[in-house]
Amino acid sequence: MYRYIIRRILQMIPTVFGVIVITFILFNIVGGSPATMTLGKNISPKALEEFDEQRGFNKPLLLGRWSATRAYQDTVFARNAGPWREIEGVVYVAGQRPEPGHIVMAPGKDYAVPLAFKLKKQTTYQWILKYRLISGTAVFRIIADDQPRGATGARPALPAAAEPEPQATVLPTNSAWQTIRIPFTVGSDPAVVKPTVSAAGGALEISALRLRRQNAHWFDSQFVFYLRQIARGDFGKSHYTNQRVAQMLKDGIMPSLALTVPIFLVELVVALSIALLCAFWRNSWLDRGIVVIAVALMSVNYLVWIIFGQYLLGYRWGFFPLWGFEAWSYLLLPVLIGVVSGLGATVRFYRTVMLDEMYRDYVRTALAKGVSRPGLLFRHVLKNAMIPILTNVVIAIPFLYAGSLLLEGFFGIPGLGNMGINALNYSDIDVVRAIVLIGSVLYVAANLMTDLCYALVDPRVRLE
C-alpha cells in the first residue's frame, strides 16, 4: 500500500502543476490586467504600477529580459497622438497608406517625453523609437533640471558634428522609417531624470515610441514569481482588507468547517437511513411517499429555504438567532436549512444505489438461505453499495473547506464562503485565486483518498 501511495503522489505532481498553470492562465492572462480589474480604469498609472509591482504583474508572463512599464503608455500613432496631444509644438499627421500615422517635431526646441510618474531608481530602461529624419540632426537625451539651457528655455541647437552628451543618443539621418533602441540607467534620484527629444536642421517624425524596463534576469517573470509564492505558502495580500491572504484563510477556515461539516455528516446519515428504509419497503406506499417528498425538496429553491427559515423560525417564532457567529446556537438554523435543502437530491441518489443492489443475485441467494431483511440490508446491501457511496462522499469533502456562499452571506458567518463573495464583488484577485487554487489541489488529493477507501471497503480492489 505504501508503495502505491508514493507512486500515486508522484503521479499527482504533474496534475497539481497543471492546476497551478491553469490557475495562472485564468487569473494572469484570460482576465486581462488584474490591476485594472481590481482598481478600475480611472485610477492613476502610478497606483496601477505599484499594484503590479507588489504582486509581480509588472514582469513578463513566462520569460523575458525587458518588461513594459506604466510610466509611459506604449504609443503607436495609428489613430491619434496619444499622450503627445498636449505637448505644444507637436503636430499629428494621420496615417495614409503607405505612410503610417506619426507626430512631427519642429527643429530648434526640446520636447519633453510625457512620463506618467517618476522612474524607478537604480534601474535600467530602454526606449524603442521608430522614426524618420530626412535632414538635419536629432538627439534623444536623458537630461536633468540642472543642465544648462538657452535664454528661451530651449536647449541650443546641436551641430551636426557635435559629440553626444552622457546618456544622449544622436539619431542618424534616414529617409526611411527605422527603429532604434536607446538604453539608459536611472541613478539614485529619479526626480531629475527627464527624457527629451530635440532636432536641428530638419523636422523629426516619430511613428511609435515604447518604454521598457530591464528585469533582473530572463526568468524574472510572473510565472516564476507565482511559483515562488506558492512554494513559500504566500498567497499575496488582499487589496480590499490589506491583510495577508494566508492569514485570512486561517481565520475563515474554522467558521466554514463549523457550518459545512455538520451539514455534510447529518445529511449523509439521514439520507442513508431513509434510503435503507426505501430499500427495505421498496414499492410500498412509504417508498413512494419518500420519493414524492424528495422530489418536492429538490424543487424548492435554496434561497426560499433560507428566507423561509429566517423569517418563520428566526424572526416570527424566535427559535434561533438570525445573525452572527458568537456561539454554537448561531449555527443551528443554517445547518438545519443546509440539511433540508440538500436532502432531497441525496436521498434519491442513495435510494437508487440501494435499489440497484437489492435486485442482484446475491440478495436473492441470501434471502433463500434465510437471512433476515435487516441483516441483508446492513451486512450485504450497504457493504456492497459502499463504492458509489464513497465516491460521492470523498469527492464532496474538498468542497467543505470553501464553506457555503449563501448561508454564510445571509447569516453573517465569517467563513471562506463569505470571504469569496466579498472578493468577487471587489475583484480581490489574490483572495479568489488562493481559494480556487487550494480547492483544486484538494480535489486532486480527494481522488487519491477515494482509491484508498475503495481498497479498505472492497476486498476485490487491490492497490498495485
The cell numbers describing 271, all together, are 439520507
Q: Which amino acid, one-letter code, is at 227?
A: L
Contact 426, 371 (CB under 8 A): no
Residue 464 neighbours by CB under 8 Å, 6+ apart: 4
Relative to beta strand 168-171, strand 194-200 is unpaired
Q: With pLDDT > 70 as the criterion, what percentage of the chain qualifies? A: 92
Cβ atoms of 333 and 411 within 8 Å: the answer is yes
Nearest to 274 by CA among 258, 296, 289, 257: 289
Task: Give backbone dihedrals phi and psi of 167, rounded to 5 degrees, phi first.
Answer: 55, 40
pLDDT in tens, 390-419: 888 888 887 788 778 888 888 888 888 888
> Does residue 157 carry a pLDDT above 60?
no
Residue 437 has a pLDDT of: 86
pLDDT in tens, 231-254: 888 888 888 888 999 999 998 899
Instruction: Tell me the average pLDDT across 362-370.
Output: 80
How many CA atoms lie within 13 Å of 368's alpha carbon, on the beta-carbon side? 5
Helix (H) or strand (E) holding 48: helix 45-55
Residue 364 pLDDT > 50: yes
List the one residue out of 445, 324, 437 whose CA is nearest residue 394.
Answer: 445
Residue with cell 482598481: 39
Mean pLDDT, to the nearest integer, of 365-391? 79
What is the average pLDDT across 58-69? 91
What secondary structure letter does DSSP report for 10? H
275 within 8 A of 293, measured Cβ to Cβ? no
**Contact call for residues 429 and 237 (beta carbons, < 8 A):** no
Is the pLDDT reported for residue 152 higher than 60? no
For residue 439, name the pLDDT band (cuts at 50, 70, 90): confident
Answer yes or no: are the C-beta atoms of 146 and 122 closer than 8 Å: no
- Residue 130 pLDDT class (50, 70, 90 cuts): very high
- Amino acid 339 reads V
pLDDT score, position 39: 84
In order of 6, 89, 208, 357, 457, the CA distances from 110 in angstroms are 68, 10, 18, 88, 82
Query: CA-to-CA distance for 174 and 155, rounded, in angstroms?
Result: 23
pLDDT at site 462: 65
pLDDT band at 69 (very low <50, low <70, confident <90, very high): very high
Confidence of residue 156 (pLDDT cuts 50, 70, 90): very low
C-alpha cell at 253: 477556515
What separation in angstroms does the CA of 448 have from each of 8, 23, 312, 392, 458? Answer: 7, 21, 43, 14, 16
How far, in Å, are 46, 198, 213, 231 from residue 234 at the CA level?
25, 48, 26, 8
Confidence of residue 110 (pLDDT cuts 50, 70, 90): confident
Residues 313-330 pLDDT 10s: 888 888 888 888 888 888
Distance CA 407, CA 331 (A): 10
What per-residue confidence (pLDDT) applies to 160?
43
Mean pLDDT along residues 12-18: 83
Mean pLDDT across 439-451: 81
How confident is the model over 279-296, as a mean pLDDT? 87
35 pLDDT more than 90: no
> How much is the pLDDT for 292?
92
Query: 154 versus 274: which is more confidently predicted?
Result: 274
Q: Measured between alpha carbons, how far is 216 from 218 in angstroms, rounded to an integer? A: 7
Joined grid coordinates for residue 200:
536641428
Average pLDDT over residues 122-146: 83
* Domain spanning 245-457: CATH 1.10.10.10: no
- What is the strand order of the sheet 137-143 is part of? 110-112, 194-200, 137-143, 168-171
Q: How big is the chain, counted in residues?
A: 464
Q: Tell me if the bond preceding 262 is cis, omega within 30° of 0.
A: no
List the grid coordinates of 332. Answer: 443551528
Furthest-apart CA pair in the chain: how many Å? 115
**Alpha carbon distance 373, 122 (integer Å):** 82
**Chain centroid, CA 356 distance in Å:** 42
pLDDT of residue 445: 82
Distance CA 464, CA 28 (A): 40
Query: Which cell numbers in the block locate residue 408?
Result: 454564510
Range with the lowest mean pLDDT among 18-22, 43-47, 70-74, 278-282?
278-282
Strands 102-105 and 174-186: unpaired
What is the model's pLDDT at position 406? 83
Does residue 158 register a pLDDT over 70? no
- Segment of 57-71, 181-195, 351-365 carrying the highest mean pLDDT: 57-71
Indicate the domain borders of the chain.
Answer: 75-214, 245-457
Distance (Å, whole) CA 9 – CA 178: 55
- In this prediction, residue 80 has a pLDDT band, given cuts at 50, 70 and 90, of confident
Question: Is residue 391 exposed (0-12), middle (13-18) or buried (19+ Cβ within 10 Å)?
Answer: middle
Task: Please provide the average confidence, as pLDDT, over all residues in the chain.
Answer: 83
pLDDT reported for residue 2: 67
Same fold, 75-214 and 245-457: no
CATH of 75-214, picked from 3.60.20.30, 3.40.50.1460, 3.40.50.300, 2.60.120.260, is 2.60.120.260
What confidence tens digit (pLDDT) does each residue in 190-240 have?
Answer: 877 888 898 888 889 999 999 999 998 898 999 999 999 888 888 888 888
Task: Choose among 124, 162, 161, 116: nearest CA to 142.
Answer: 124
**pLDDT of res. 459:** 66
- pLDDT over 90 (residue 170): no
Query: Is 377 a residue whose pLDDT tops 70?
Result: yes
CA gyration radius, the chain: 34
Question: How far apart are alpha carbons 388 and 395 in whole angstroms?
Answer: 11
**Per-residue pLDDT, 262:** 92
